[in-house]
A and B are shown apart, each in its own frame.
Chain A
C-alpha cells in the first residue's frame, strides 16, 4: 500500500515563494508526480520526478529524495492564479497506478 502525507493548507503573499512538502511510504515506486487542481476542476499535470534531484519548469520546481521518501514542490514568484490545491502522487510499479495525497490548498494573498 501507499501512505502519502502533505500539509493541508498554506498561505503566502503574491510574489513570494512557497514550498509544499510531501512524504511517502510505498510498497513500490516508479515516479512521483505533482498536479495542480483549481476548485471545481480536474487536476492538471505539473511535474514528474523518478530520479533524485531537482527538476525545474519555469516558476515551478520539484525535488525528490528516494532514500528519504520525500519530495517538495517549489512555487516561485507567486501569482493570484496559483491559488489552488496541489496534489502529490506516487506511481506504483504495476499498471502505472497513482496513489494521491489529500492535497495542499495554497492561498495567495495580495
Chain B
C-alpha cells in the first residue's frame, strides 16, 4: 500500500534561519507531488507541485523553494525564514481510483 511520510512533525525556528522539510512517498512510482501551507484558521494554499524529478512549478511568489531530487522525494526549503512562514505544511500525492490527493501527516512550523 502507499504511504506518505513527512518530517519533522513539529519545528520551532527563529526568524532568519534556514528550513528544510522532507516528504517521501512509498508504494508508488512517478507520483504528482504537492506542497500546501495552512495558516491558522485558513484554507490550504498550494505552494508547489511536481510532476517528475527536477520538475517544480511554483504557485505563489514567496520566501520558499522546492526540489525533487528523487522520484518519491519532495523537499521544501527556505534560506531565511520569516514570521509569516509559520503554519501547517502538508505534502500530498495523487492516487486512488479518482486520482484524489492523499496527504501526509504534516509539519507544524512556528517561526519566532
The answer to whether B42 touches A45 (Cβ under 8 A) is no
A101 CA to B44 CA, complexed, in Å = 8
Q: Which residues of B contact A103 (CB under 8 A)?
A: 43
For chain A, the count of residues having a C-beta within 8 Å of the partner chain is 22
A48 CA to B103 CA, complexed, in Å = 16
Q: Which residue of chain A has the shortest Cβ distance to B108 in the bound complex? A: A40
Does A7 have its Cβ within 8 Å of any Cβ on chain B? no
Whole-angstrom distance from the CB of B3 to the nearest CB of chain A? 13
Chain B, interface SS category: strand
Does A110 have its Cβ within 8 Å of any Cβ on chain B? no
The answer to whether A45 touches B96 (Cβ under 8 A) is yes
Q: Which residues of B contact A87 (CB under 8 A)?
A: 43-44
The answer to whether A95 touches B49 (Cβ under 8 A) is yes
Q: Which residue of chain A has the shortest Cβ distance to B106 in the bound complex? A: A42
A86 CA to B59 CA, complexed, in Å = 23
The answer to whether A44 touches B99 (Cβ under 8 A) is no
Q: With A42-B90, A42-B104, A48-B100 as known contacts, state yes or no: A95 contacts B44, CB within 8 Å.
A: no
Given A45-B100, A95-B57, list of 15 further CB < 8 A pairs?
A33-B100, A42-B103, A42-B104, A43-B44, A43-B90, A43-B103, A45-B96, A45-B102, A48-B100, A87-B44, A96-B101, A100-B36, A100-B43, A102-B43, A103-B43
